[in-house]
Amino acid sequence: MANDSVRVRFAPSPTGFLHIGGGRTALFNWLYARSKGGKFILRIEDTDALRSKQEFVDEILDSLKWLKFDWDEIYYQSQRFPVYRQQAEKLLNSGKAYIEKTEGKGEAIIYKVNPQEVTVNDLIRGEIKFDTSVIKDQVLIKSDGTPTYNFACVVDDALMNITDVIRGDDHISNTPKQVLIYNALDFRVPNFAHLPLIMGTEGGRLSKRTGATAISDYRKMGYLPEALVNYLLLLSWSPGEDKEVIDISEAIRLFKITDVNKTSATFDMKKLDWMNNQYLKNEPTEKLAQQLVGILAEKGLINKEKYDKEYLANIVKLFQGRLSKVNDFADWADFFFLEEIIPDPAARAKHLNRDLSKEFKLFSERLDKLEKFDIATIEEAFRKLVAELGIEAKTLIHPVRVALTGKTIGPGLFEVIYYLGKDRAKKRLLKWAKQEGV
């Protein structure tokens, strides 16, 4: 049943890109709104004219769209300065605020804090008490005419009818200052829910090295939005029954803000890779192949306008179960799209360090004679050859793999030969057979 009276907001500042912490805050707000049939409001807090940039606004909006966090309304604080001035003057006129003149800079409007105890019933943390005697008088409008964060935040949350403020616990210290202003303006105080911090695997605040990078960077690295959202969801919340992979529609049905953990969450890149792999394995192969076209074209591996769609889909299928990032594919599968390959130096030193010209020539001849060229007959030809030579299969499998792919790991060797095709496989084997020291 829809509950339009529930209204939450996500309020990023466009002084930088949308990072993981902001992404999780946006998710929990959006999820709460959707679970309650309410409204998700997006508010761009761009009061700092010097540091706010349009490129950051664009990136934040693009990232939220990519994550599929659709918003119902959007506001820009830079367009609302008269509203903040009007509310500050109300406090001036009622004697709750005063003017402080700054020489050469203009006048600031300051709220006078009266010592009292403020109690907040946090939806996640329970009751929190604050002593306002340690809080100094609060600037509402700075001498340059711009509103302060706490004042603009209160005015907007009140006038936009925000019912629940869900944000990071680094804002807990702002809460008593804001409650004082709500009360001074006779505004209804919303419910508060402060999400725990996200920590790195080594403890301490999340750093760039441990995952604190822009959502758009995760997109470029090849994570699927559904996988990233699923992973962010598990940072402080669980659907229960040890379930980790959860569809967003089911999460909306199960989500309760009161079930969010109080303790800090740990961001683990390995766990994110695992989660992305779960989603990549189940992605329709043709859809995944389509996502890879741009990446492969950028690396010069295919012509974006003219390529074999069926062939690409077949190659994608070979790697799909092992991919943890979409972008890995181009590095792992490049040998399928290149005419000439350069083996990895370590792989060459390990597996092409002795004379295998006889074995390579013989195997090349066996491939050439195959009338039916499929995975089963390729394997049969190989098994017969190693039996005749009286060697173990692995003695030849690894060198052949490196000669054909330049790598030590990959899909099954016989699948590799089949999709490379008879001519390319023979050509690569004979190239190494001719080289001295092979």
Residue numbers annotated as active site: 208
Q: Are strands 117-122 and 7-10 parallel, antiparallel or unpaired?
A: unpaired
Long-range pairs of 183-187 with CB within 8 A, sequence gap ≥ 24: 184/91, 184/96, 184/111, 185/87, 185/90, 185/91, 185/154, 185/155, 185/158, 187/154, 187/158
Question: How many whole angstroms separate alpha carbon 29 and alpha carbon 157?
Answer: 14
CA dihedral 301, 305, 307, 310 (to 10 degrees): 120
Q: Is 288 helix (H, G, I), strand (E, B) or coil?
A: helix
CA atoms within a 13 Å half-sphere pointing along the CA-CB vector of 191: 16
Residues sharing a CB contact under 8 Å with residue 277, sequence separation 6 or more, in sequence order: 322, 323, 324
DSSP string for residues in 321-379: GG-SSTTHHHHHSGGGT-SS----HHHHHHHSSS--HHHHHHHHHHHHH-SS-SHHHHH
DSSP string for residues in 3-49: -TT-EEEE---TTS--BHHHHHHHHHHHHHHHHHT-EEEEEE----T
In Å, what is the CA distance from 231 to each residue of 96, 275, 323? 46, 7, 17
DSSP string for residues in 178-211: HHHHHHHTTPPPPEEEEEPPEEETTSSB--GGGT
Taking alpha carbons only, the member of 41, 144, 135 closest to residue 84 is: 144
